Chains A and B, each alone.
Chain A
Amino acid sequence: MFDFGIITSWIHEFLTSYLPLGLATFLECVLVGVCIILLYVVIAVIMIYMERKVCAAFQCRLGPNRVGPWGTIQLICDMIKMLTKEIISVRKSDKFLYNLAPFIVILASVMAFSCLPFGRGMSVLDFNVGVFFLMASSSIGVVGILLAGWGSNNKYSLIGAMRSGAQMISYELSASLSLLTIIVLTDTMQFSEIVMRQQDGWFIFKGHIPAVIAFVVYLIAGNAEVNRGPFDLPEAESELTAGYHTEYSGMHFGLFYVAEFVNLFIIAGVATTIFLGGWMPLHVSGLDGFNHIMDLIPGFIWFFGKAFFVVWLLMWMKWTFPRLRIDQILTLEWRYLIPISLVNLLVMVIVVVFKLHF
């Protein structure tokens, strides 16, 4: 497998040979920052296009097809529209919090995004408690949503924000528990290490039953965490018009919108890394020829391929089910998902202790 770390270390050596270490590190930070944000935007655009096309296909429609081939230019037009629209500020709103909220949401999203290992050596933040860091940074987003609801001085927004507070904090639990299930299996929290351990088989296969259950629970909880249907109560357009972002327009709304889609991608990316082997190709023990062919496909294609497949699964879920009610959401979490993930964690411990995994 090609190691992207060669390129990064080459850049590092190149820079340090001309510049003092501090300046070189600073330049690298800037470079990485720019790359991450560019990737972020590109992923957001791809996700929005994919959402439209996939949801159209589920609904017997064609989706955008007027602007450009297969409607691809449509997204650029939408972006330009979003960027040029006036940002309306609401009278009697809390100006500071109102303007701050979208940035908190996007900040949380970018921070979580930079944890993802896209390929071998192709990760920005990679340290020994990576999974913890990801969970922690992605939960900052709820603060932004609460602030948006509070700061807009709108009753719909406030109800939406309250709902999302209750929902996101609850679902954080089962999402973390299902990740912990796999961490029991791997005994590491470093993303690169987690991927390396899956060289001889993805965890969803290695951990068999408890891993599959954890995968399903994680998808449900993750979907709920990013406020997407059937858990889109905070914005529930048929009840609260647009929930917490009712009063936002222009790029402020755009930030929420983009963050929502990239958060979805992050959930899929984490599921890919933890359960589906990240950038690791599909290896079947015994078939060396097959494994060799699989190795020829670069790691990041594996990663994005798997991640977009998971995204497609989540979209399938969103476009099939009706929205839950607030009490049902909490019932699902506290009566079903948490007990299931706790029991599942216990099963996984037993599996690991008695070496029942592959």
Chain B
Amino acid sequence: MDNIITIDKYDFHDVALEYKEQGYDFLRCLTGMDWGEDGLGAVYHLENTLTQENVVLKTKTTELSDPILLSVCDIWKGAEFYEREIFDYFGIRFLGHPDMRRLFLREDWVGHPLRKDYDFSLNPLRMTNEVTADMTQNIEVLKDGSVIKKREVLFDEDEYVINIGPQHPATHGVLRFRVSLEGETIKKLDVHCGYIHRGIEKMCESLTYPQTLALSDRLDYLAAHHNRHALCMCIEKAMGIEVSERVQYIRTIMDELQRIDSHLLFYSCACMDLGALTAFFYGFRDREKILDIFEATTGGRLIQNYYTIGGLQADIAPDFVQKVKEFITYMRPTLKEYHDVFTGNVIMQGRTKGVGVLSKEDAVSFGATGGTGRASGWACDVRKRHPYAVYDIVQFDEILYTEGDCFSRYMVRMKEIEQSLNIIEQLIDNIPDGEIQVKMKPIIKVPEGSYYAAVEGSRGEFGVYLESRGDKFPYRLKFRSSGLPLVAAMDTLCRDAKIADLIAIGATVDYVVPDIDR
């Protein structure tokens, strides 16, 4: 159970700034909360990137009709999107936030759905188009302490604005960018999320714990195992369940296979986005082998549905070990082929080197974890920072680059495939015997409190924040998406790049939309 420091809402900005100055420069997770009678608020998970110390802050307001908190997006850039999300879900306005729009829901949505008093009947299925607003509003504090609402223009009328998405071959799903162009150069980029928003966090509040697991696979479908691992770990941590060695080993192997799977898909899609359609098929051809391994054990190819609270759905398939070994011996030379056909190519290098540079400070400030952060030189691997499962006993290198450009983001992932192969190789022969499922009560209840658990997903830290009131349903379940900070950084990354660079940046940042929208 996390130790939460409560801070008065008027002091919050100053206290946050103090923490930042002490070295807590990474905002891991920002969760909006509705504590019912106790008011609305937010929970901030901070981490010191040097010492890996964590601190959890919380602030709240009892004003329910027009709740206002202080924005921290000048301290952590990543907070900008989180605060918009909280505004969307809870209606909390943040003072000093430059762009207080809804993030996921439609502009004409009535009410704020994650509030406990939200009325479902207010929002019937709308059959009209959503009008894209070119204006945004923010709240500013004047010197005398009074508050004014200001409207600001996002795009001028004479700007050449084009839509990339929601239906666009290069956005990997239904993400939409509005891009202001000058010739081929990008002047401004505005992200519109929410086209695949399903309200999973809201749904989870009315599901039992085993039922919530079924939804976790559907967040980032290329990190289905990771997502479920995080959720299982969080619940197990809360209930104090120790899973057996065997389960830990299998989970680790599965996680790494999933990572290879995701990175192969990343490779394929990066190739396709840059126009090398043939290399795309090579990646998919080899990914198929992993999916076959998954299918034999878990019964699923995309939706794995494998980990359960306290164990696994089933033991590994009889030929699992042999198949995985075959795959490892096949994959190593194939990786060289990938590098030959695409990585070394002079066109590809010209298109990615020095393009879309994200500095280390920005990466930390946005909370852009995963390959994106490591390409900027930020050692942000959860497997190293907070080892879980059996990552503390395996040898592997954290791949770090310092350039922070598209090429290093690409190379981090390609090298991680090799590291994942190493990890699997160390574990695959030594899977110990043991129970695959801890005996659970028929109805799982989590003790009261709030808990946070994180794993290294395919594209960054995937965290689960769970607040329980001791029921069989979670009171609030927040998924710290690995993709949201990445798209939050898109505007910074794309400024003054070419429109073709936007595609290269989007491909190498490697966001997955269902994970962003949830």
Contact mask for chain B residues 175-190; partner A; CB cutoff 8 A; 1 contact, 0 none:
0000001001000000
User: Does A319 contact B278, Cβ atoms closer than 8 Å?
Assistant: yes
User: Does B345 contact A321, Cβ atoms closer than 8 Å?
Assistant: yes
Instruction: Say yes or no for B5: interface residue by CB 8 A criterion.
Output: no
Q: Which of the residues A60, A232, A239, A324 comes within 8 Å of B170, measured between beta carbons? A: A239
Chain A residues with CB under 8 Å of B203's CB are none
Instruction: Say yes or no for B341: interface residue by CB 8 A criterion.
Output: yes
Q: Which of the residues A59, A320, A323 comes within 8 Å of B281, measured between beta carbons? A: A59
Q: Which of the residues B169, B276, B281 comes within 8 Å of A321, measured between beta carbons? A: B276
Interface residues of B in 148-174 (CB under 8 A from A): 160, 162, 168-170
Q: Which of the residues B162, B169, B271, B498 comes within 8 Å of A322, measured between beta carbons? A: B271
Chain B residues with CB under 8 Å of A325's CB are 350-351, 498, 500-501
Contact mask for chain A residues 148-162; partner B; CB cutoff 8 A; 1 contact, 0 none:
000000011001000
Q: Bound state CA distance, A26 and B29, in angstroms? A: 80
- Interface residues of B, Cβ cutoff 8 Å to A: 160, 162, 168-170, 181, 184, 271-282, 285, 341-342, 345, 347-348, 350-351, 498-503
User: Does B281 contact A61, Cβ atoms closer than 8 Å?
Assistant: yes
Q: Which of A59, A156, A238, A321 has the most CB of B within 10 A?
A: A238
Q: Which of the residues A155, A319, A324, A326 comes within 8 Å of B160, measured between beta carbons? A: A155
User: Does A323 contact B160, Cβ atoms closer than 8 Å?
Assistant: no
Chain A, Cβ-Cβ closest to B499: A239
Q: Bound state CA distance, A326 and B273, in angstroms? A: 15
User: Does A159 contact B184, Cβ atoms closer than 8 Å?
Assistant: yes
Minimum CB–CB distance for B92 against chain A, Å: 37
21 pairs, CB–CB < 8 Å, chain A vs chain B: A59-B277, A59-B278, A60-B285, A61-B281, A155-B160, A159-B184, A238-B169, A238-B170, A239-B500, A319-B277, A319-B278, A320-B276, A321-B275, A321-B345, A322-B275, A322-B347, A322-B348, A323-B274, A323-B347, A325-B500, A328-B347
User: Does B278 contact A238, Cβ atoms closer than 8 Å?
Assistant: no
User: Does B345 contact A322, Cβ atoms closer than 8 Å?
Assistant: yes
Instruction: Say yes or no for A229: interface residue by CB 8 A criterion.
Output: yes
Minimum CB–CB distance for B310 against chain A, Å: 42
User: Does B281 contact A322, Cβ atoms closer than 8 Å?
Assistant: no
User: Does B498 contact A327, Cβ atoms closer than 8 Å?
Assistant: yes
User: Does A322 contact B170, Cβ atoms closer than 8 Å?
Assistant: no
User: Does B162 contact A236, Cβ atoms closer than 8 Å?
Assistant: no
Chain A, Cβ-Cβ closest to B169: A238
Instruction: Say yes or no for A86: interface residue by CB 8 A criterion.
Output: no
User: Does B503 contact A238, Cβ atoms closer than 8 Å?
Assistant: yes
Q: For the A-B complex with A159-B184, A241-B169, A320-B276 known, give 10 more contacts whose Cβ atoms are closer than 8 Å.
A: A59-B280, A230-B347, A232-B275, A237-B169, A238-B272, A238-B275, A238-B503, A322-B271, A322-B342, A323-B500
The 10 A-B residue pairs with the shortest CB-CB distance, nearest first, are A323-B275, A59-B281, A322-B276, A322-B274, A238-B170, A325-B500, A155-B162, A322-B275, A319-B278, A238-B273
Instruction: Say yes or no for A2: interface residue by CB 8 A criterion.
Output: no
User: Does B498 contact A326, Cβ atoms closer than 8 Å?
Assistant: yes
Minimum CB–CB distance for B182 against chain A, Å: 12
Q: Main secondary structure on chain A at its contact with chain B?
A: loop
Q: Bound state CA distance, A59 and B277, in angstroms? A: 8
Q: Bound state CA distance, A319 and B502, in angstroms? A: 22
Chain A, Cβ-Cβ closest to B504: A325
Instruction: Say yes or no for A127: interface residue by CB 8 A criterion.
Output: no
Q: Bound state CA distance, A322 and B498, in angstroms? A: 16
Q: Bound state CA distance, A60 and B287, in angstroms? A: 14
Q: Bound state CA distance, A58 and B341, in angstroms? A: 12
Q: Bound state CA distance, A237 and B169, in angstroms? A: 7
Q: Which of the residues A59, A241, A322 comes within 8 Å of B168, measured between beta carbons? A: A241
A239-B503, A325-B351 known; A229 vs B168 contact (CB < 8 Å): no
Chain B, Cβ-Cβ closest to A156: B162
Interface residues of A in 303-343 (CB under 8 A from B): 319-328
Interface residues of A in 194-245 (CB under 8 A from B): 229-230, 232-233, 236-239, 241
Chain A residues with CB under 8 Å of B271's CB are 322
Q: Which of A229, A322, A328 has the most CB of B within 10 A?
A: A322
Minimum CB–CB distance for B187 against chain A, Å: 14
Minimum CB–CB distance for B35 against chain A, Å: 46
Minimum CB–CB distance for A130 against chain B, Å: 34
User: Does A322 contact B351, Cβ atoms closer than 8 Å?
Assistant: yes
Minimum CB–CB distance for A120 against chain B, Å: 39
Chain B residues with CB under 8 Å of A61's CB are 281
Chain A residues with CB under 8 Å of B276's CB are 320-323
A61-B281, A239-B170 known; A328 vs B274 contact (CB < 8 Å): no
A238-B275, A241-B168 known; A321 vs B162 contact (CB < 8 Å): no
Q: Bound state CA distance, A321 and B281, in angstroms? A: 13
Q: Bound state CA distance, A65 and B502, in angstroms? A: 37
Chain B residues with CB under 8 Å of A60's CB are 281-282, 285
Chain A, Cβ-Cβ closest to B355: A325
Chain B residues with CB under 8 Å of A323's CB are 274-276, 347, 500
Minimum CB–CB distance for A210 against chain B, Å: 24
Chain B residues with CB under 8 Å of A229's CB are 275, 277
Chain B residues with CB under 8 Å of A322's CB are 271, 274-276, 279, 342, 345, 347-348, 351
Minimum CB–CB distance for A232 against chain B, Å: 7
A60-B285, A61-B281, A159-B184 known; A324 vs B273 contact (CB < 8 Å): no
Interface residues of A in 138-168 (CB under 8 A from B): 155-156, 159
User: Does A159 contact B499, Cβ atoms closer than 8 Å?
Assistant: yes
Chain A residues with CB under 8 Å of B501's CB are 325
Minimum CB–CB distance for A125 against chain B, Å: 36
Chain A residues with CB under 8 Å of B285's CB are 60
Chain B, Cβ-Cβ closest to A316: B278
Chain A residues with CB under 8 Å of B278's CB are 55, 58-59, 319-320
Minimum CB–CB distance for B356 against chain A, Å: 12
Q: Bound state CA distance, A55 and B276, in angstroms? A: 12
Q: Bound state CA distance, A159 and B162, in angstroms? A: 10
Chain A residues with CB under 8 Å of B169's CB are 237-238, 241
Q: Bound state CA distance, A159 and B160, in angstroms? A: 11
Chain B residues with CB under 8 Å of A320's CB are 276, 278, 341
Q: Which of the residues B168, B184, B282 comes within 8 Å of A326, measured between beta carbons? A: B184
Q: Bound state CA distance, A348 and B502, in angstroms? A: 43
Q: Which of B169, B272, B273, B277 has the most CB of A within 10 A?
A: B277
Minimum CB–CB distance for B430 against chain A, Å: 35
Q: Bound state CA distance, A59 and B284, in angstroms? A: 10
Minimum CB–CB distance for A155 against chain B, Å: 5
Q: Bound state CA distance, A328 and B345, in angstroms? A: 14
Q: Bound state CA distance, A241 and B285, in angstroms? A: 25
Chain B, Cβ-Cβ closest to A58: B278
Q: Bound state CA distance, A269 and B513, in angstroms? A: 46
Chain B residues with CB under 8 Å of A230's CB are 275, 347
Minimum CB–CB distance for A235 against chain B, Å: 11
Q: Bound state CA distance, A59 and B341, in angstroms? A: 12
Q: Bound state CA distance, A328 and B184, in angstroms? A: 13
Interface residues of A in 283-306 (CB under 8 A from B): none
Chain B residues with CB under 8 Å of A328's CB are 347, 350-351
Chain A residues with CB under 8 Å of B350's CB are 324-325, 328
Q: Bound state CA distance, A201 and B281, in angstroms? A: 41
Minimum CB–CB distance for A89 against chain B, Å: 21
User: Does A324 contact B162, Cβ atoms closer than 8 Å?
Assistant: no
